[in-house]
Amino acid sequence: MRLEEKISVGNVCMNVIRAATIVAVLSLLAGCATSGGAAAVCPEPESQSPDYVIGAGDQLQVFVWRNPELSTSVPVRPDGQISIPLVEDMIAVGKTPTQLARDIESVLGEYLRSPKVNIVVASQGTSNQIQVVGQVVTPASLPYRKDIRVMDVVIAVGGLAQFAAGNRGKIVRQYEQRTVECQVRLDDLVKDGDMSQNILMYPGDVLIVPESRF
């Protein structure tokens, strides 16, 4: 093969390599442009009781079997305690309804023979709710339930409002006695189906949806 032919073939090969490289780079950039942001990450409480845990602000129905005069409805005070007839200033926060019922029975046992107590949570306080504020159709406080996720919460409040900046959404969470803020890209979740944003929510979480700047 003559020198001129070798040079021509070499140039063709280099052009093919350059073209292939450009195509690969453009494909990579396109993938980055269309893919959602980083997966939403938020520290999760180390342990969650499978049973409901009473929190401040909860409204409790206390039933004392065969003693209607002792049965009552009572709120859990900000100090975490309740008071009912014959039982004053008993800690309720952090206990399950069953645990609280047994503790009340122990005190009532000083006055009654074999008391039987049932506790029903009539309504949840904010410490056991999920707050949704900002640019959603119906801002609300939602009762917490096990395995509830961001998408469940967004649906429950009617979805994002017209001027919501969904991808600037954030969750405010109490974690290890401090407040943390975690970004969650709601537009990517709701509109594009990016399930990496559909993280679990926990009692006391606040989901904030800001307004678009434009």
Return the exposure string of 129-154: e unless at least 16 CB atoms fall within 10 Å of the residue's CB, then b. Answer: bbbbebbbeeeeebebeeebebbebb
CA gap 53, 94 in Å, rounded: 6
Residue 144 is predicted with a pLDDT of 92
The architecture of the domain spanning 129-209 is Roll (3.10)
Residue 177 is predicted with a pLDDT of 81
* Cross-strand bridge partners of residue 211: 164
What confidence tier does 28 reach under pLDDT thresholds 50, 70, 90?
very low
Checking if the pLDDT of 181 tops 70, the result is yes
Residue 8 is predicted with a pLDDT of 52
Q: At which residue do the structure tokens 């700047």 appear?
A: 213
Collect all residues with Cβ–Cβ distance below 8 Å to 41 and sequence separation of at least 6. 182, 199
| Segments in the chain forming alpha helices (H) | 3-34, 97-108, 150-156, 186-190
Checking if the pLDDT of 59 tops 60, the result is yes
Tokens representing residue 35 in the block: 């893919």
Of 39-43, 155-159, 174-178, where does the model show the most confidence?
155-159
Please compute the mean of the pLDDT values over residues 114-138 and round it to a whole number: 95
Checking if the pLDDT of 169 tops 60, the result is yes
Please compute the mean of the pLDDT values over residues 102-123 and round it to a whole number: 97
CA gap 103, 50 in Å, rounded: 20
What confidence tier does 105 reach under pLDDT thresholds 50, 70, 90?
very high
Q: What is the fold, at CATH topology level, of the domain defined by 59-123?
A: wza like fold (3.30.1950)
Q: At which residue do the structure tokens 């003693």 appear?
A: 67
Please compute the mean of the pLDDT values over residues 62-67 and round it to a whole number: 97
Residue 43: C-alpha distances to residues 12, 166, 171, 205 (Å)? 55, 21, 11, 12
Ordered by start, the domain boundaries in the chain are 1-31, 59-123, 129-209
Please compute the mean of the pLDDT values over residues 5-24 and round it to a whole number: 47
